[in-house]
Chains A and B, each alone.
Chain A
Amino acid sequence: MSRTLVVVGNGMVSHRLVEAVRAEDVDGAWRVVVLAEESRPAYDRVGLSSYVGNWDASALELAGSSYDGDELVELRLGDPVARIDREAKVVTTEAGFEQAYDALVLATGSYPFVPPVPGRDLPGCFVYRTIEDLDAIRAAADHARSNRGRAAGAVIGGGLLGLEAAKALRDMGMSPHVIEMAPRLMPIQVDEGGGALLKRLVEDLDVTVHTGTSTSEIVEDRERLLAKLGNGTELDLDLIVFSAGIRPRDQLARDAGLDVGERGGVVVDDGCRTSDPAIYAVGEVAAVEGTCYGLVAPGYTMAEIVAAQLAAGNTAAAFPGADLSTKLKLLGVDVASFGDAHATTEGSLEVVVNDAVAGTYKKLVVSDDSTTLLGGILVGDASEYNTLRPMVGSELPGDPASIIAPAGGDGGGIGVDALPDEAQICSCNNVTKGQIKGAITEQGCDTVPKLKACTNAGTGCGSCVTMLPKLLTSCGVEVSKSLCEHFTQSRAELFEIIAATGITTFSELIAKHGSGSGCAICKPAVASILASIAPVIGADGHILSDDQAGLQDTNDRFLANMQRNGTYSVVPRVPGGEITPDKLIVLGEVAKEFGLYTKITGGQRIDLFGATVDQLPHIWKRLVDAGFESGHAYGKALRTVKSCVGSTWCRYGVQDSVGMAVALELRYRGLRSPHKLKSAVSGCARECAEARSKDFGIIATDKGWNLYVCGNGGMTPRHADLLASDVDDVTLIRLIDRFLMFYIRTADRLQRTASWLEELEGGLDHLRDVIVDDKLGICDELEAAMAAHVANYADEWKGVLDDPDKLARFTSFVNAPGTPDPTISFREEREQQVPVPLGIPAIAGAEGSS
């Protein structure tokens, strides 16, 4: 008999709760019904500001939030719960839907607090909480711009959320005002000194800050708004965003007679239980021992505590208290606040380094004997946050002033070694240094990706990822970058050596920079580098040139894909998946003539299986004559650029996705890279080409193209990240040129773009700095390398057919050309030939010795 868990509300914490219940409830004892007010499934509200610019709500989707395919979860959207009948254990929605429960969890979150300013309900006044709020703000800004050419906006509230909102307005092209009642910005997180610097840094970014004053009135003024401030200032505005804090949405609980706190919030104990034992509350609506938490991490902890009690029978699970430390980049300014930031501990001392020239403010709060770190504030540069925050409550490794001394002073900064085992490294998922060390030493995690998978550290906001390699090193794990026993260098280092020295052969490279004679790891890796930049260093552009043929994996060496019985499959290029009937007929005829098994690939082309080494040139002669060329299905190279049919035919398409896919595939065909590259172009936001599962995916918008990078399907699916939005054709291609060449230069051997980005220090922000903003100043070089590739492209298969020496290598038996391999045989299955596995290995030694 399954029991029913009803969850009211469907925000991030609700979603975490459902996931945790479903993960722990292995026997399926609970059926989960989620009743939600918003019309879309739970999304990343923390990342709401990133919606501005791309205006792509799907980018905020949380994995698994639709619960598709899980029969034990029912999600009812757009119909909020109106009342709870605790006696009957039934909830009723506004639409009248009734749902009985065995356990009920309130996860209704909070609502934006709007101070009682006269005029706050006027058109043009908004709050900042949902995707719909941002759509409404955008519409108002667009309207003002169409009337006056420019929109003016203000944010009421200069806290964390207020500055987020100011960033959103700025990203919409406004120069916003921020009005904060307290004497400084972010009064909860920073002190006066930090606030002063923050104000200066924010004002440098075209934001006008009014502190120590409130808004006394908002009036309509010739279709615009006039905001009158307490200090006498008046602002002419088109829109006003209230972002002055949040309040728990506890009305449902109040109506049901549950205990609520003095300052609101449903009172719960440390197990998140309300005054009714069948009802729990989690997230922003819950007042755990009197305190409501407006951050997602404590909410996640509460969700897991409730899940542990319901699904795992762990009644002892208790809320351990929350770390309210924050590290943010607000309007591009680093702000971090941790522990007892305001020095409220009795006898605590403050050590401040305020560097007005560098634009940094750093404060440590220490115990009265100055040995123990209690908290701190960092503004302008928060790079020490990752090491300092976990040290709160521990003894400092040295003089506090030296720790925050400006670089150049002696002994600035502390290392990960100084942290105690209890120190929390990942605050999103509450992972301690001790747990990470355990994963390294006991579970054998010796790489960053393995650590992430094993401990979950670094899988939330990602800010602690840079700590993981340091912990590996500190545990004695050599994070070795050597390619193999023959080269101590990493692939990226070998790339730089080849690019700098112009060495064009493997033999010279290994003689000068390696040892031994090479192996199946370094040879193809070096061959790939040589091929990627052949035109730049003047190497032979054909991968089967005398110097390079022996370096290639069998697929590249025979320009076809080896299958399990030693035969090969053949995949001609079909750019964008677009093919004429005549060419399709040729493929059919060739398959028929050579008896090849035929299958449509996932990359919108046709794969012909069962070709022997001797047959390959004959097959390709037919194909090249008919206008086909290599599809590089065998290479660590660009494979295909998939496309949907796009605006040419589709009623919904907004751009010519097929045309773009063909152009991209022809541009990057033959480009050798650390691993295979896949791409797709979708003609509208419906995304039929599945571009976000690709290394680079393009989705049409009504203004141009959105470029997504580093997606993956396969074993570890990853949605690609948005790199640039609404770009035109020229910009799109320029960005992809740079992206691909940067990846080719820096990735490890056989590292797909997705894991490359995971390991890239600085992540997507750094990638954007390099590719979009050219902060390393290498974009000209990257573009030139790509231009050389494009100019020098030639079909590899034609190159073989035109060269008798290369052609001679396509022989099964060197002493019996044309003799079929006796170990290869086929049987018929669904009207096509498939391989018969080889009986092992009677043919080998036994017969020969007789």
Chain B
Amino acid sequence: MTMTDARIWTAVCELARIPVAAGVAALLPGGEQVAVFRTTGDEVYAIGNIDPIGGAAVLSRGIVGDAGGQPVVASPLYKERFDLRTGECLDGDASVPTYPVRVTDGVVHVGSV
């Protein structure tokens, strides 16, 4: 994979600001909302914040856990689970976009796609 010049990295917050096994929502410059999660194993993932099934921007407020070892968040609306790595829904025919994430000097950045 090559990085293009067009990728914009947005500083979201300090990693410490995201509680372990929880998420926060952030706004990207284009107006998109991302949900940024920190897992129990301190991995950080970002996916679209809008639950495509419930139709509301709530995924950052879901419970983070695992399904058979894969990291997931369960939407707070109707509890469908989304894979944090792929954005695929485990419980329905739907998916959310995923975003690249990097942690630099303790600050979480989300990249545009």
> Footprint of B on A, CB under 8 Å?
485-486, 507, 516-520, 522-524, 546, 549-555, 557-558, 562, 564-566, 613, 811-816, 819, 821-824, 837-838, 840-841, 843-845, 847-850
Contacts and interface: CB of A to CB of B under 8 A. Distances in A.
Contact of A814 (B26, B30, B48, B76): B26
A557 B22 CA distance: 11
Nearest to B34: A848
Contact of A553 (B63, B67, B68, B97): B63
B10 interface: yes
Contact of A520 (B71, B81, B96): B81
Task: Classify chain B: how many residues form its interface, as a range.
Answer: 35 or more
B19 A815 contact: no
5 contacts: A550-B63, A562-B58, A815-B13, A824-B57, A838-B55
B97 A845 contact: yes
Contacts of B52: 840-841, 844
B50 A517 contact: no
Contact of A844 (B21, B36, B48, B62): B48
Given A841-B52, A850-B30, A517 B21 contact: yes
Contacts of B12: 814-815
Nearest to A527: B63
Given A564-B55, A845-B97, 18 more contacts: A507-B40, A518-B40, A519-B81, A520-B63, A523-B65, A550-B21, A550-B22, A551-B63, A555-B76, A562-B77, A566-B77, A813-B33, A814-B12, A814-B36, A815-B12, A847-B31, A848-B97, A849-B113
Interface in B4-22: 10-13, 17-22
Contacts, number: 141
Contacts of A552: 63
B6 to A, nearest CB: 10
Interface string B47-69: 01010101111100111111111
A847 B34 CA distance: 13
Interface of B: 10-13, 17-22, 24-28, 30-33, 36, 39-41, 48, 50, 52, 54-58, 61-69, 71-72, 74, 76-77, 79, 81, 96-97, 112-113
Given A562-B76, A848-B30, A523 B40 contact: no
B50 A520 contact: no
A134 to B, nearest CB: 51
A524 B62 CA distance: 11
Contacts of A822: 31, 33
Contact of B25 (A518, A557, A812, A844): A812
Contacts of A837: 55
Contacts of B76: 553-555, 562
Contacts of A520: 62-63, 65, 74, 79, 81
B14 to A, nearest CB: 9
B50 A841 contact: yes
B69 A516 contact: yes
B42 to A, nearest CB: 11
B32 A519 contact: no
Given A516-B69, A554-B58, A812-B25, A843 B50 contact: yes
Nearest to B96: A844
Contacts of B32: 843-844, 847-848
B62 A558 contact: no
Contact of A517 (B57, B65, B96, B112): B65
Contacts of B96: 844
B50 A516 contact: no
Contacts of B20: 550
B63 A815 contact: no
Given A520-B79, A566-B58, A840-B52, A814 B64 contact: no
Contacts of A812: 25
Given A558-B61, A848-B32, A519 B26 contact: no
Contacts of A523: 63, 65
A372 to B, nearest CB: 52
Given A549-B19, A815-B27, A821 B65 contact: no
Nearest to A840: B55
A823 B56 contact: yes
**3 tightest Cβ-Cβ pairs between the two chains A and B:** A520-B74, A554-B76, A566-B56
B47 to A, nearest CB: 10
A60 B36 CA distance: 58
